[in-house]
Homo-oligomer: A and B are copies of this chain.
Amino acid sequence: LIWAPSGRRLVSGLLALNLVLLGAALLTAEVFNPEGLKHQEPRLFILVLMALSLAWMLWYLLWARRQPGISPHRDHHAGGICVTVVLMVFSACSLLLHVFKMGYYIIMAECKPAAKVLLPFFEAPFLGLQTYLLWGHSRDCIHKHKILTRSGLVLTLTTDLLLWLSAVTEDTVHLEIELEKEERAVFPHASLPGSFDDSNIGMGNVSQCHCGAHAGCRIFRKGYEVLYPFNIEYYLMAACLLYIMWKNVGRHMEPHSHPEHAQKVTLRVVYHGGVLFGPLVGAVVLLVGIAIFIMYQVWVSSAHGRFTAFVLFYSYHLAVIPVMSFCSLAGVIIHKIEARAQDMGHNPTRSLDVILLLGTALGQLSICYFSVVAAWGMGPSGILGGLDLSYSLLSLLELILQNIFIIEGLHRHPDITQRQSRRKIREFNSFFKKGIKPKDTTKEVTDPPVPLVEKSEVRTATVAPVEKEPHSRNHWSRRVLQEICAFLILANIMLWVIPAFGAHPQFENGLGKQFFGFSAWFVIVNLGQPLGVFYRMHSVGALLEVLVTA
C-alpha cells in the first residue's frame, strides 16, 4: 500500500501536487493580501478545475463505463455501506447549503464579486455529480484509459481539496455574524454570565454588507452558518474516496471475503458470547446523548438558553469521557495481563489503519492542546472556561488511552484457541515453545501467512500458566474485552454524531477565540473538527475488529 509511483501514476501524482500547490498559493495570497489579486484568481482557478472535473465525470459516467472490461474487479474494502450512507447525508446537507448560499449571494450580489456569486451555481452540480460517481463507482478498479482516468480522478480530488481549503479559510460570513452579534450585545439580555462575545480581535477586513432587517437574507445566512461544517466534512470524505479510487486504477484484486461479513460476525459474537453490560451502558449513553444533543440544538440558538446549552454539553462529555478513559485503561491492563503472542508481521491494511488512527487523532489533540494553552494564557475565567479546560484535559487522556488500547488490540494475534479443540491448543502451545509454526493450525488464521513473533516475556514466564487453565482465563478476559469494546463502540458513535451534526461549542464558546484571535481560531477549529469526526468514525471500525478478534 506504499505509494510507489510507476510511469503513469507518477504523472498524475505530479499533476495533483502542482495543482494543489498552485491553488494553495492562490488561497494563501488571498488570506494575507486580500487586495493583491484583483481578478478573483483563486475562485477562477477553482472554477476551471471544477469545469474540467465535471467534463471528466460526464465522460466516465456517460461513455467510458459502458465499455466492456473497463472495470473487471471491484475493491470490496473501499466505500463500505456505512461510509456511503454518511456521504449521502453530508452531500444532501451540502446541496441544501448551496441553495442557501445562492439565495444569500443573490441578495448580496451588488457588494460581492461576480466570481463569488457564480461559484455556488457551479459547485452544486459538481457536488451532485461527484456524489453519484462515488455512490455507484467508488469500488471500481478501472483497467482502461488509465492515463485519462487517473488524471480525471486527480483533477476531481484536487478540486475537492481546494474547495475544502477555501471553506476552511473563508470566514467572511462568520465575521459578519460576529460583528452583528457585537452590535446586538448592547442589549442587556445578550450579556450572559461567562460569555465571551466581546472579543474584538481579528475583525479587520470585513466587507460592509450587512443583512440588516432583511428577513430572507438572515434565514439564508443562518442556514449557511449551520450547514457549512457538513460541506467541509463532505469534501474531506469525497477526497479520501477518490484517493482510494485513484490507487485502485489498474489494480488486480484477489477474490476476498466481503467486509459485511465482519459486521455479521460482530453481531454473532455479541449475541452468543452473552455480552450484556457493555451494549446496555452504551445504549444508555447513546440515548442520553441524543436527548442532550437535541436540547443543545434547541437552546444554543436562543440568547437565553445558550449558557444552559453549553453547560449541558460539557456535563454530558465530562460524564462520558472519564468512563471511556477508564474502560480503555482497563482494556490495556487486560492486554498486559493476558500477554498473548503479538502478531508483528508485515500487514499493510493494519499499518494503514494505525496511521489513520494516529493521523486523524491529531485533529482533536491539537484543538485540545490549543484550548489548554489558551486557558493557561487567559487565567481563571468563569464556569464555562473551567468546563472547557476540564473537557480538553479529559479528552486528551481519553484519546491517548483509547489509541493505545485499539492499537495494541489490533496487534494481538487472533485467538486460534477458541476455534479449536483442547487437543489442538496443547499441540499449538508445544509448537509455540519450540518456535516452530505448525502448518495445519495457521490455516485457521484468516489473514495471509504472517510470522509469529513472540515477546520475550511470553516465552519465559506466562506460557506455562496459560497452558494450565487456558479456557477459564481466556473466557474471563475475552468477556471483559468484549464488553469494553461494545461500550466504546457505542460511545464513540455518539461522540461522532454530536460534532458531525453541528455542535461546536469549542468554536462558539470562545476562550480560544479570545486568545488566538477570530481568524486563527476559525482555521484551527475547522482543520481539527472534521479530523476529529473522522477519528471517531475510524475508531468505531477499528474497535469492531478488536471486538471480533478479542
- CB distance B404 to A14 under 8 Å? yes
The B-contacting residues of A in range 336-366, CB under 8 angstroms, are: 342, 344, 346-348, 350-351, 354-355, 358, 362, 365-366
A377 at the B interface (CB under 8 A): yes
Q: Which of B2, B32, B37, B370 is in CB contact (< 8 Å) with A25? A: B370
Please report the total number of A residues contacting B with Cβ < 8 Å: 58
A37 CB contacts on chain B under 8 angstroms: 373, 376-377
Q: Which of B10, B32, B369 is in CB contact (< 8 Å) with A21? A: B369
A376 CB contacts on chain B under 8 angstroms: 37, 41
- CB distance A348 to B21 under 8 Å? no
> How far does the Cβ of A458 sit from chain B's closest Cβ, in whole Å?
12
- CB distance A403 to B14 under 8 Å? yes
- CB distance A4 to B365 under 8 Å? no
- CB distance B404 to A362 under 8 Å? no
Q: Which of B3, B36, B354, B408 is in CB contact (< 8 Å) with A355? A: B3
A305 at the B interface (CB under 8 A): no
- CB distance B516 to A17 under 8 Å? no
The closest CB in chain B to the CB of A357 belongs to: B5
Q: Which of B36, B342, B374 is in CB contact (< 8 Å) with A6? A: B342
- CB distance A28 to B411 under 8 Å? no
A11 CB contacts on chain B under 8 angstroms: 404
A21 CB contacts on chain B under 8 angstroms: 362, 365-366, 369
Q: Mark A448-466, 1 if CB is under 8 A from B, else 0.
A: 0000000100000000000
A24 at the B interface (CB under 8 A): yes
- CB distance A32 to B377 under 8 Å? no
Check A29/B377 contact, CB under 8 A, given A2-B351, A17-B358. yes
A365 CB contacts on chain B under 8 angstroms: 17-18, 21
A276 CB contacts on chain B under 8 angstroms: none
The closest CB in chain B to the CB of A516 belongs to: B32
Q: Which of B14, B25, B350, B366 is in CB contact (< 8 Å) with A4? A: B350
- CB distance B29 to A342 under 8 Å? no
A25 CB contacts on chain B under 8 angstroms: 366, 369-370, 372-373
A407 at the B interface (CB under 8 A): yes
Check A10/B377 contact, CB under 8 A, given A32-B517, A516-B29, A517-B32. no
Check A354/B4 contact, CB under 8 A, given A366-B24, A369-B21. yes
Question: In the complex, A370 Cα to B26 Cα: how many Å?
Answer: 8
The closest CB in chain B to the CB of A336 belongs to: B7
Question: In the complex, A9 Cα to B371 Cα: how many Å?
Answer: 28
A208 at the B interface (CB under 8 A): no
> How far does the Cβ of A329 sit from chain B's closest Cβ, in whole Å?
14
The closest CB in chain B to the CB of A201 belongs to: B33
Q: Which of B5, B41, B517 is in CB contact (< 8 Å) with A354? A: B5
A411 CB contacts on chain B under 8 angstroms: 4, 6-7
Copies in the complex: 2
A370 CB contacts on chain B under 8 angstroms: 25, 28-29
> How far does the Cβ of A404 sit from chain B's closest Cβ, in whole Å?
6
A17 CB contacts on chain B under 8 angstroms: 358, 362, 365
The closest CB in chain B to the CB of A396 belongs to: B18
A383 at the B interface (CB under 8 A): no
A275 at the B interface (CB under 8 A): no
Question: In the complex, A294 Cα to B455 Cα: how many Å?
Answer: 58
A2 CB contacts on chain B under 8 angstroms: 2, 346, 348, 351, 355
Q: Which of B33, B348, B358 is in CB contact (< 8 Å) with A516? A: B33
Check A351/B3 contact, CB under 8 A, given A362-B17, A404-B14. yes
Question: In the complex, A369 Cα to B27 Cα: how many Å?
Answer: 12
A22 at the B interface (CB under 8 A): yes
A10 CB contacts on chain B under 8 angstroms: 404, 407-408
A400 at the B interface (CB under 8 A): yes
> How far does the Cβ of A157 sit from chain B's closest Cβ, in whole Å?
16
A507 at the B interface (CB under 8 A): no
A314 CB contacts on chain B under 8 angstroms: none
Q: Mark A390-410, 1 if CB is under 8 A from B, else 0.
A: 000000100010011001100
A373 CB contacts on chain B under 8 angstroms: 22, 25-26, 29, 37, 41
A135 at the B interface (CB under 8 A): no
14 A-B Cβ contacts within 8 A? A3-B355, A4-B344, A4-B346, A4-B351, A4-B354, A7-B342, A17-B365, A18-B369, A22-B372, A28-B516, A29-B377, A32-B520, A36-B378, A37-B376
The 7 closest A-B pairs by CB, nearest first: A36-B377, A25-B369, A2-B351, A25-B373, A32-B516, A25-B370, A32-B520
Q: Hey, which bits of chain A sit against chain B, CB under 8 A?
A: 2-7, 10-11, 13-14, 17-18, 21-22, 24-26, 28-29, 32-33, 36-38, 41, 342, 344, 346-348, 350-351, 354-355, 358, 362, 365-366, 369-370, 372-374, 376-378, 396, 400, 403-404, 407-408, 411, 455, 515-517, 520
Sample of 9 more A-B contacts, CB < 8 Å, known A14-B403, A14-B404: A4-B351, A10-B407, A17-B365, A18-B369, A21-B365, A22-B369, A25-B370, A29-B516, A33-B516
